[in-house]
Amino acid sequence: MPNPVLEVILNRKSIRAYEDRPVPPETRRQLLEAALRAPTAGNMMLYSILEITDQSIKDTLARTCDNQPFIARAPLVLLFLADYQRWFDYLRHAGVEALCAQRGQALRLPAEGDLFLACCDALIAAQTAVLAGEALGLGSCYIGDIMENYETHRQLLDLPRFAFPIALVCFGFPTRAQLERERTTRFDRKFIVFQDRYHRLADGELDEMFHQFEARAEAHRDKIDGFVSAAQLQYDNKLNAEFNREMTRSVRALLRTWLGETA
């Protein structure tokens, strides 16, 4: 007997084109309610969700997130923040700083581990929202490029020191073409799932794993000027791409701010 939850998970694909109709209030409520029930470290809920409704902000994000116009047209745009600011404000408000002084201790500020934990919380909430949206008939697409241009986004969204935009997600009702589009393939489980210890793939295993990847690139050889191998294309289009260099710079800027190394 088919399992409806597994069907939602297995049939999900990224959707970047939406019908020109809003997400009904009840659908939005259910999606957010599901997100807020996501697993969270110590029940701290180290995240905040910004619903982006201002069209001018959407238009800006469409440019600053690596020039993706569909962001501006998405009916529902949610930004998931790794957020330790709320807890830190509460601890100060509740007198923890004075308690530390009585103990002769310095107040401990959120550090790298706290940022990573908050990122986990925010991403788990985001994925829960994505699956809830899928179950409610909404398509979605993650925008990892929100980690670029940290200073611009910090000012645009009035972000405090201990809040970092880790995932932007667009939602909307998929167009017919998007519904009929085939899902992308995934790598075979044997290359991804290991037991007990990490398995570093040998050369032959790498060739086997990436065979389909290389074959797809070969099939489009005539469309690629100055064709090179798929691995070389991936390097140029991802790891060595300008957007990725900007993302690295941006995350470093966030870390300096989080750790108090900049004003």
What is the set of domains in the chain, with CATH numbers? 11-184 (3.40.109.10)
Give residue-wise pLDDT tens across range 91-101: 999 999 999 99
CB 146 within 8 Å of CB 168: yes
* Type of residue numbered 144: G
Residue 225 pLDDT > 70, yes or no?
A: no
Give residue-wise pLDDT tens across range 129-148: 999 999 999 999 999 999 99
pLDDT, position 262 = 63
Distance of CA 191 to the CA centre of its chain: 23
- How many residues are there in the chain? 263
Q: What's the whole-number mean pLDDT along residues 58-62? A: 98
- Which strand (E) or helix (H) includes residue 69? none
Model confidence at 230, pLDDT cuts 50, 70, 90, reads: confident
Model confidence at 224, pLDDT cuts 50, 70, 90, reads: low
Q: What percent of the chain has pLDDT over 70?
A: 94
Model confidence at 217, pLDDT cuts 50, 70, 90, reads: low
State how far the Cα of 88 lies from the Cα of 46, in Å rounded to an integer: 11
Whole-model pTM above 0.85? yes
The DSSP code for 144 is G
